[in-house]
Amino acid sequence: MNKERFMTRSMNEPDLSIGSGSARLVLLTILHTPIPTIDCGKKPLETEVFFAYSRNLETLQTMRTFNYIFGSGSYTMFNWRYLLPNKLKYRLIMAYITLLMIPLCIAIFYLFQHFESIRQKDMMDRMSEHMQQVHVSLTDMMAFAYKANIMLSQDESLIQIMHDPDKYDPLERKKVIESKMFGINNSFFFHQTELYFRFIDLKGNVYTSYAPAGRLTNELKTLQDWQDKLHSGTHSYRWVADDWNDVIGSKGSKVLSLYIVLDDPLRGNFGLARISINIQEWFLSTLKDSPANQDLTIFTGRGETVLQSKKTTFSMDMLHRITSLQAKEGHYEDKRSSSLVNYSYLEDLDWYVVSQMPLSELQQEIRQLRFIAFLFLTILVIVYVLVTIILSARMTKPLVVLERSMEEALDKKLNVKISIGKGATDEVRSLGDSFNHMIDDVIALINKLKLEERQKQAVRFQMLLSQMNPHFLLNTLNTVKWIARKEKQEAIAGICTSLGLILEASLNSEIELIPLKEEMKLLRSYESIQSFRFRDHFIVRYELDGPVQHALVPKLSLQPLVENAIVHGFDMTEGCGMIWVRVRAEGRELILEVEDNGIGMEAAALKPGRRSGHGIGLSNLRERLQLLFKREGSMEIISGAEGTLVRLRLPLLIATPYSQEGGDGHVGDFTSGR
């Protein structure tokens, strides 16, 4: 190979052409690396394609271009038309491998993950269903015992015998009571286990439904002890787990007993009942329906094991987690033991019924399939990676020029244009044109943003300037007021004071809601101005509920209503008009009403000399209510042949001040001058 070196072409050149001289360009690719410019032999040909495209100002996606430059040295001249489609084909294959095969492998991986989670969820649902059956079965047995107690407590003959056993023969009363117990067991024949009854009457006599392991003795003290325990508690009964078992022939079995004081509304306490369930027999019958690989355990809230299907021990971490959840039922995956745990809580017994199944049992069905699938995918990926390496080995050398060119474009603030020669393909030419359009759009956008920023600054300056005029008018009005007082023109001074209050309120544009008390001051100021103008041809009456004086209302919301009543509602050549301003609270709403006895809206519309701007104040107020309160604020206009009523409905917002000190800040500010 002749002399070969790499060099960088400057991005300031106005024309970056493709194709010239006797050499030809073999082009393509879409990879995120720069390219070098290669100078070979006596007739170097520098050919570059620069492309950058982005829809935001933070990212420039680089595209790689592969150059073959052939000189007149030791290189053999190739026909670029022959090489171009071959290279494009291989590179398209590589692109499809990258964009399709890798996502396919990832999709298959997540598909197996999803399938495994579905299998796990299905098994968890079946475990939950079985746990629910166990819970219901045990609850039914406990309910069965409690119902048996209710049935016995309502048996009149049993009550009489146990309340006064000395009136009956011992053998007779024993026979009667045992027959009652036997009848209760027969009435619940469909249950899995038998109930064992043990009664103690008021004299300490003991009656059982089973053959006791020992001799029965008087247990009056036992009766008294249990009466004291149950009367001191919140319930008249108590469940005792792992109670003593005195049934002959079942000494090793665990029993669950219900101790309850027998009580009659008329006779009072007539004995103690112990109703026992062979919990071990029930547990063994329950295990018949459970899967062979499922471990079922019952333990207390203190962590003591009551019953267990297998001789395995739960870890203390698992017991602590279940008890700390404080939930009646639930399930979770235990990472330490690699198992699924499902639990249910029995509040009356403070028992936890826990089902545990190893995850290895769940995954056994899909392990082999997953292994084969991933083995095949691994081989496929390795093959495609090798092919990709072989194809990309010849494409990774020219890596520098495009990246450096883009860096120069950024450094020169996008003052770059790319010109694509005629020898380039339509795809490359389209990329260059897109880059040029993007540069133009970005520059135009930056100029537009700068223009908008200047316009915003100008508008803000105009707003600040426009606020100077009201302040000037307010100060001038204050001057007129003091001149009027000096000339003893109190009427003019009063008008200036009232107008100053209204002007000052309108000047404070940052506050939209003010207390009703302040709004009424503004309204009275407006009334005093209009009274001077119309020579007291109208009277305004105020009807306000006391508690609503601190309610928040839109600023200057009543003034346009009163103005419409004065200007458009009254014919000032006839008599004196009346205006009623009413404010009251109805539930969570504040009602503001302005009513007049004028000529009505229809007649007012026909008055000669009526201003064209009539109705602007009402529409403005309606829009303000919509902006401030959305659907919670409304304005209703009721007008007839005589008089008009405008009703505003607002949310009741009370803003009670912390103190009433300080006086009227607005009037004080105005009267003190500026």
Whether residues 354 and 398 fall in one domain: no
- Bigger pLDDT: 58 vs 455: 455
Question: Is 79 inside a domain boundary?
Answer: yes
Query: pLDDT, tens digit, for every residue of 624-652?
Result: 898 889 889 999 999 877 889 999 999 99
Whether residues 63 and 82 fall in one domain: yes
Query: pLDDT, tens digit, for every residue of 320-373?
Result: 777 777 777 777 777 777 778 888 888 777 788 888 777 776 667 677 777 887
Tell whether the model's pLDDT for residue 117 goes beyond 90. Answer: no
Query: pLDDT, tens digit, for every residue of 496-510?
Result: 888 778 777 777 767
Q: Residue 400 gets which letter from DSSP? A: B
Mean pLDDT across 117-145? 79
Whether residues 517 and 423 fall in one domain: no
Query: pLDDT, tens digit, for every residue of 424-445?
Result: 456 656 766 776 787 788 888 9
Give the separation between CA 561 and CA 549, rounded to whole angstroms: 19
Query: pLDDT, tens digit, for every residue of 252-272?
Result: 677 888 888 888 777 778 888
Q: What Cα–Cα distance (Å) separates residue 605 from each residue in 290, 613, 638?
A: 88, 12, 15
Q: Burial code of 157-192, b = ≥16 C-beta within 10 A, e = fewer?
A: ebbbbbbebeebeeeebbebbbebbeebbeebeeee
Instruction: Lowest mean pLDDT of 22-36, 103-117, 407-421, name the range.
Output: 22-36
pLDDT-derived band of residue 400, with 50, 70 and 90 as boundaries? very low
Q: Are strands 577-586 and 538-544 parallel, antiparallel or unpaired?
A: parallel
Question: Using N-to-C axis directions, what is the helix angle for 516-534 and 559-569, rounded to 10°?
Answer: 20
* Final residue of a structural domain among 234, 269, 284: 284
Phi and psi torsions of 424, nearest 5°: -80, 160
* Residue type at 635 in one-letter notation: M
Could you tell me the residue range of the domain that residue 560 belongs to?
A: 470-671
* Final residue of a structural domain among 234, 249, 284: 284
Give the separation between CA 655 and CA 422, rounded to whole angstroms: 77
Contact predicate 146/138, CB 8 Å: no
Question: Is 221 inside a domain boundary?
Answer: yes
Contact predicate 253/280, CB 8 Å: yes
Question: Is 455 inside a domain boundary?
Answer: no
Whether residues 298 and 260 fall in one domain: no
Tell whether the model's pLDDT for residue 243 goes beyond 60. Answer: yes
Whether residues 557 and 637 fall in one domain: yes
Q: What Cα–Cα distance (Å) separates residue 495 from each residue in 477, 481, 498, 500, 518?
A: 10, 8, 5, 8, 18
Query: pLDDT, tens digit, for every residue of 288-297?
Result: 766 666 777 8
Give the separation between CA 154 and CA 258, rounded to whole angstroms: 18
Tell whether the model's pLDDT for residue 195 goes beyond 90. Answer: no
Which residue, chain included where needed, has tokens 């292994």?
371
Mean pLDDT across 214-241? 79
Question: Is 131 inside a domain boundary?
Answer: no
For all residues of the chain together, what is the average pLDDT? 71
Structure tokens at 138: 């045990």
Question: Is 667 inside a domain boundary?
Answer: yes
Give the separation between CA 95 and CA 28, rounded to whole angstroms: 12
Whether residues 510 and 638 fall in one domain: yes
CATH number for the domain that contains residue 486: 3.30.565.10
pLDDT at 636: 92
Whether residues 488 and 614 fall in one domain: yes
Whether residues 497 and 608 fall in one domain: yes
CATH number for the domain that contains residue 176: 3.30.450.20
Contact predicate 545/584, CB 8 Å: yes
Contact predicate 629/587, CB 8 Å: no
Tell whether the model's pLDDT for residue 396 goes beyond 60. Answer: no
Three-state SS for 272-293 is: EEEEEEEHHHHHHHHHCCCCCC
Number of domain units in the chain: 4
pLDDT at 362: 65
Structure tokens at 290: 């459970």
Contact predicate 236/260, CB 8 Å: yes
* Final residue of a structural domain among 284, 309, 324: 284
Q: How far is CA 272 from the centre of its chain?
A: 55
Phi and psi torsions of 516, nearest 5°: -60, -30
- With H, G, I as helix, E, B as strand and everything else as coil, classify residue 423: coil
Question: Is 123 inside a domain boundary?
Answer: no
Question: Is 206 inside a domain boundary?
Answer: yes
Whether residues 268 and 302 fall in one domain: no
Three-state SS for 548-614 is: HHHEEEECCCCHHHHHHHHHHHCCCCCCCEEEEEEEEEECCEEEEEEEECCCCHHHHHCCCCCCCCC
Number of H helices, E strands in the chain: 17, 21
The per-residue DSSP string of 464-522 comes to: HHHTHHHHHHHHHHHHHHHHHHHTT-HHHHHHHHHHHHHHHHHH-TT--EEEHHHHHHH
Mean pLDDT across 53-82? 40
Tell whether the model's pLDDT for residue 458 goes beyond 50. Answer: yes
Whether residues 393 and 280 fall in one domain: no
Q: Are strands 589-596 and 577-586 parallel, antiparallel or unpaired?
A: antiparallel
Question: Is 132 inside a domain boundary?
Answer: no
Whether residues 658 and 627 fall in one domain: yes
Give the separation between CA 287 and CA 353, rounded to whole angstroms: 13
pLDDT at 245: 79
- Per cent of the chain over pLDDT 70 is 68
- Per cent of the chain over pLDDT 90 is 7
Query: pLDDT, tens digit, for every residue of 578-604?
Result: 899 999 999 999 999 999 888 877 777
Give the separation between CA 144 and CA 139, rounded to whole angstroms: 8
| pTM for the structure as a whole | 0.39
pLDDT-derived band of residue 379, with 50, 70 and 90 as boundaries? confident
CATH number for the domain that contains residue 306: 3.30.450.60
Mean pLDDT across 480-485? 79
Q: Residue 631 gets which letter from DSSP? A: G
Segment of 57-71, 117-131, 417-431, 536-550 carrying the highest mean pLDDT: 536-550
Whether residues 418 and 497 fall in one domain: no
